[in-house]
Amino acid sequence: MLTKLFKSSKTSFQIFNALYLSFLLGGAFYALKTFHDYMDIYEKAILFGSVGFFSWLGWNWNHFKKMFILVVAVSLFAIQLYDGALANNEHIFLLKYLISSQSAIMWMHVFFALALLLYWLGLLTKNNLVDDIASSFTSLAVLFGFIGLLVRWYESYLIGLDIGHIPISNLYEVFILFCLITSLLYLFYEERFNTKKLGAFVLIVINAAVGFILWYTFDRHADGVQPLVPALQSYWMKIHVPANFIGYGAFSLAAMVSVAYILAGKKILTSYLPKLAVLDDLIYKSIAIGFIFFTIATILGAIWAGEAWGGYWSWDPKETWALIVWLNYAAWLHYRIVKGLRGPVLAWWALIGLVVTTFAFLGVNMFLSGLHSYGQL
């Protein structure tokens, strides 16, 4: 429904292009003009690189472009409502219940949960309208999630100029980022390959992350903005973490599509799901994309470690398990591309790979200690 709402004529397409570029370039030039004295050459390179990346993404994916416009417009409106006073999130109705960071993120949770229920209803009833509604709710969840992160970024500076930072620095924030990146990857494939039936599987792992966020919020009260520890006060964080979570999101997507592949291979839900060849191709593409970004993130992490701790590699538990994850997916791609392996073996391998990746991402923080101990539960 939301996707269909965005279907437009050539004129409206050009209008959206103009708006998209205006927001993108205007935001970049505003940031450069306002924070020029606080940015070094690396941060300026990250800024211009981001403009190039998002320009390319918007050009190739129209739905993302329209979501981006809405995210920026609503976030700027929320910032205007704050008017420089954090206390306004308790007094202004729209902030308190809709578009402050905490409210927007809670709406993200609601829409992800509804999307999961509707995807399964659409799958089991073979109802395309329900599938469309589920897809729309997923888009709305992404919309509110990104609004929540952008507004949280602004709120962190209202707390204190020395506290403000990009909201990708702790488990609470990166789990939100994981939900959003995994959803975007899925929505891209859903649109390109018409695979709405797979939403019932992909939204399971996203809602598992939502469950963790809720537990982390209400049990550990870890949703507050905290100052960055010294190791995280680096421009490398701004590119290492997003690259890492594109990898994690792609690996998770591949694992959940693998569940569908395994079920279809056992003649379970076969008539409801895409053909095995389509599922196999989606698994391969997801792991290939994840591997590229995870490799980039690992290299960036090593450079960051060299600056922060004086050595590129120290066999810290987080680094060691990152290497295990990388070797696992390198072997997976080797057997698929070079050896020509296909079928259930690779699907099971991708699913088990998610277990390994989850331990590297979360288990290390829970059970092991090291230089990355700032990410402990």
Q: Give tens-digit pLDDT for 43-83.
A: 788 888 888 988 888 888 989 998 999 999 999 999 999 99
- Among 119, 144, 169, give the residue marking a domain's end: 169
Q: How confident is the model at residue 140 (pLDDT cuts 50, 70, 90)?
A: very high
**161 and 264 assigned to the same domain:** no
- CA 37 centroid distance within chain: 30
Give the pair of three-digit tokens for residue 142.
Answer: 């992404």
- With H, G, I as helix, E, B as strand and everything else as coil, classify residue 253: helix
The reply to whether 121 and 263 lie within a common domain is no
**Could you tell me which residues come within 8 angstroms of residue 304 by beta carbon, excluding any fewer than 6 positions away?**
234, 236, 237, 240
Query: For residues 142 and 317, which has the higher predicted lDDT (pLDDT)?
Result: 142
Same domain, 114 and 240: no
Residue 224 lies in a domain: no
Report the distance separating Cα 83 and Cα 88, nearest Å. Answer: 8
Does the structure show a pLDDT above 80 at 369? Answer: no
Tell me, yes or no, whether 35 lies in a domain: yes
Same domain, 344 and 249: yes
Domain check: are 297 and 157 in the same one? no
Tell me, yes or no, whether 243 and 357 share the same domain.
yes
* Residue of higher predicted confidence among 147 and 165: 147
Q: Is residue 48 part of a domain?
A: yes
User: CA-to-CA distance for 67 and 142, rounded, in angstroms?
Assistant: 8
Q: For residue 8, what pLDDT is reported?
A: 47
Three-state SS at 229: coil
Q: Which residues of 52-84 are buried (b: 16+ CB within 10 A; e: fewer)?
A: eebeeebeebbbbbbbbbbbbebbeebbebbee
In a domain, 207, yes or no: no
DSSP character for 272? Answer: G
In whole angstroms, how far apart are CA 127 and each of 183, 203, 273, 275? 21, 18, 13, 18
Please give the residue range of the domain that contains residue 45: 1-169
Same domain, 161 and 236: no
Q: What angle do CA 133, 107, 165 make, to 5 degrees?
A: 130
- Same domain as 97, residue 19: yes
Report yes or no on 222 lying in a domain.
no
Work out the pLDDT band at 228, boundaries 50, 70, 90.
confident
Confidence band, pLDDT 50/70/90 cuts, at residue 231:
confident
| Structural domain includes residue 216 | no
Which of 153, 169, 185 terminates a domain? The answer is 169
Q: How confident is the model at residue 33 (pLDDT cuts 50, 70, 90)?
A: confident
Question: Which residues, in sequence order, are CB contacts of 35 under 8 Å at separation 6+?
Answer: none
Backbone angles phi, psi at 126, to 5 degrees: 55, 40
R_g of the chain computed on alpha carbons: 21
Q: What is the rounded distance in angstroms from the CA atom of residue 150 to the CA atom of residue 167?
A: 8
Q: Is the pLDDT of residue 137 over 70?
A: yes
Largest CA distance in the chain: 62
**152 within domain boundaries:** yes
Number of domains in the chain: 2
Q: Which of 122, 144, 169 corresponds to the end of one domain?
A: 169
Q: Is residue 185 part of a domain?
A: no
Residues 251 and 358 in one domain: yes
Q: Check whether residue 159 and residue 239 sit in a common domain.
A: no
